[in-house]
Amino acid sequence: MSSNTVDILNTIRDNLQYFYYVIFLYGTIGNFLNTMIFSRLKPFHGNRCAFYFTMEAIGGIVFLFLGLINSIARQIHGSDLVDSVLIWCRIRFITMHGMALILFFTICCAACDQFWSTHYRFGVRYQYPLKLARYIMLISSCIWLSHSIVFALFLNIQSSSSGCVITNFILIWYSTYCFYPILYGPLQIFLAFVFSLLAYRNVRHIIRQQISIERRQLDQQMTAMVLIRVIFCLILGLPYTCFRIYIINHPFTRSNLLRYTIGQILQIIVSLLFSANFASNFYIFFATSAQFRRQVKYFFRQKTNRFHGNIGEVKLYSRELTHRHFYHSFVVM
């Protein structure tokens, strides 16, 4: 009976892995559209929050692509190389976890920046230029990647447990009480949630201030988008962090095959949710923001008109060439 159950669970596990390809497809399309919209449309030019959304979209594409490489390698090899090849275990941790730290920090920066951008004091609003935001992203990315490199040096392969695990006792303590609870999501998302609520409070009183209607509408739109992004980040990212804390302290051993298989299924499910966290930005914004939907429609209408305009120019140029050729032939005759 136990053997049949394990076989069924293995089939479920193998089929769950195919959902990642759907997440990758929709996530890549959505992040690409976010990159184009936040970087090309005029209302977002010079807006620091739009810059953070653009960086998150680019980072999301890189994160999903790295996950795709791991999924393809798993399909080719027949099992997860992370559990058997040490160098692959460490490279995957450096790239995936390093990129996730950058993305979490980007979301936190977007919420904090939106709070300062909607502050009631005008001097505070313009105290942090876009150039500073770029430096923050560059320096923080180097710090998070360096942290992931040092962390990955302590990873090892244990054939009796879940494969790629932490064996150093001090690092287990650091991962349980510092890395995953503080850096890898919860604390950063909590801070982002607090600052997004404060920004929302600022926006509610922004109507009393002497600013343009366009700036007021943009602040209201970006604040609502940041708040909803943080909420979904909390919902989709927290299960993975909790699971990682549990599995570091209580790894699933291969001696109990049923428990080990269930643990693998749970890991795939929380990993899919975690990947969806960085693949669903565009669809979340499109579903919750009427102003963003209008901007998306305007973006596609602009691209369509430009495409038809280029086709018209090509036809006109082709027609001119035809007339010139006909006139030249007539003169020669």
Q: Please report the DSSP string for 155-222 in residue order.
A: EEEETTTTEEEE--HHHHHHIIIIIIIIISSHHHHHHHHHHHHHHHHHHHTGGGSS--HHHHHHHHHH
Q: How many residues does the chain have?
A: 333
Please, what is the average pLDDT of the chain?
Answer: 82
Which residue in the block uniquely carries the two structure tokens 């942090």? 128
Please check the confidence at residue 324 and state whether its pLDDT lies above 50. Answer: no
pTM for this entry: 0.85
DSSP assignment string, 237-291? HHHHHHHHHHHHHSPPPTTSHHHHHHHHHHHHHHHHHHHHHTT-HHHHHHHH-HH
186, 285, 273: which is closest to 236 by C-alpha? Answer: 273
Report which secondary-structure segment, H or E, holds 53: helix 48-77
Which residue in the block uniquely carries the two structure tokens 């979301």? 107
Domain borders along the chain are 2-288, 292-333
Q: What does the pLDDT average to over 75-84?
A: 73
Burial of residue 331 (CB within 10 Å: 0-12, 13-18, 19+) is exposed
Q: Do 265 and 252 form a contact (C-beta atoms < 8 A)? A: no
Q: Do 34 and 284 form a contact (C-beta atoms < 8 A)? A: no
Q: Which CATH superfamily is domain 2-288 in?
A: Rhodopsin 7-helix transmembrane proteins (1.20.1070.10)
Tokens for 248? 């570091």
The segment with the largest mean pLDDT, out of 13-27, 115-129, 159-173, is 13-27
Q: Going by C-beta distance under 8 Å and a sequence separation of 6 or more, which residues neighbour residue 203?
A: 118, 219, 220, 223
Q: What is the pLDDT of residue 307?
A: 66
The pLDDT confidence band at residue 321, using thresholds 50, 70 and 90, is: very low
User: Rounded to an integer, what distance in angstroms lies between the CA atom of residue 265 and that of residue 261?
Assistant: 6
The pLDDT confidence band at residue 136, using thresholds 50, 70 and 90, is: very high
Percentage of the chain exceeding pLDDT 90: 35
Q: What is the pLDDT of residue 159?
A: 64
Tell me which of 316 and 146 has the higher pLDDT: 146
Q: Do 56 and 8 form a contact (C-beta atoms < 8 A)? A: no
The pLDDT confidence band at residue 316, using thresholds 50, 70 and 90, is: very low
Tell me which of 231 and 14 has the higher pLDDT: 231
The torsion angle over the Cα atoms of residues 77, 79, 83 and 86, rounded to 10 degrees, is 0
Tokens for 30? 């959505």
Q: Do 111 and 72 form a contact (C-beta atoms < 8 A)? A: no
The CB-side HSE value for 20 (13 A sphere, CA atoms) comes to 25
Please report, for residues 22, 67, 96, 227, 332, the alpha-carbon distance to residue 100 in angstroms, rounded to integers and kept in the order given.
20, 11, 6, 19, 70
Burial of residue 292 (CB within 10 Å: 0-12, 13-18, 19+) is buried
Tell me which of 24 and 201 has the higher pLDDT: 24
